Homo-oligomer: A and B are copies of this chain.
Amino acid sequence: MHSEVVASRSADQRDSSRESRNGTPQLDAVSLAIIQQLQEDGRRPYAAIGKAVGLSEAAVRQRVQKLLDQGVMQIVAVTDPLTVGFRRQAMVGVNVEGDVESIADALTAMSEVEYVVMTAGSFDILAEIVCEDDDHLLDVINKRIRALPGVRSTESFVYLKLKKQTYMWGTR
């Protein structure tokens, strides 16, 4: 915890909420440092974070609350689905004819779908699916995803072993 930031805060960067082109709030160095602290431990006390980033406890608290309200970050428990009773997971590559985004929205609406991203490459969309068993997985892929109008084809990659899953962006 010797990640002293000691930002030259008094200088100019007191706008932690400047907006960039797409409306996403731009983060300053201090907020980034706060996020890093919470990526290491989501329950770290505000006072400890404040000491690390050079802010008072109350200021850290306000910034964290704002980051949560803005949806920039969320503090949650994450697990390996396998240990929580979901025995089948798969990544599904989807090819679409027509409007890709509307298909992506339809996938997003499915509760079994954990992750949806539009990509460049031989798939238009990648979607991660979390299911309880093989029947459930088969049902989602064949009856629900392939049934969507505009889905040209799909390819499935059933998970055998999860090797790594980190949440340390920005910590490098």
Query: Is A72 an interface residue when CB atoms closer than 8 A count as contact?
Result: yes
A108 to B168 CA separation, bound complex (whole angstroms): 13
Inter-chain contact B75/A77, CB cutoff 8 Å: yes
Count A interface residues, CB 8 Å: 65
What is the count of identical protomers in the complex? 2
A104 to B170 CA separation, bound complex (whole angstroms): 23
Sample of 17 A–B contacts (CB below 8 Å): A27-B84, A38-B76, A38-B77, A42-B74, A74-B167, A75-B78, A76-B76, A85-B170, A108-B163, A114-B164, A114-B169, A115-B164, A118-B159, A121-B155, A121-B157, A123-B157, A130-B169
Q: Which residues of A contact B (CB under 8 A)?
A: 24-27, 32, 35, 38-43, 72-86, 90-91, 93, 104-105, 107-108, 111, 113-123, 126, 130, 155-170, 172
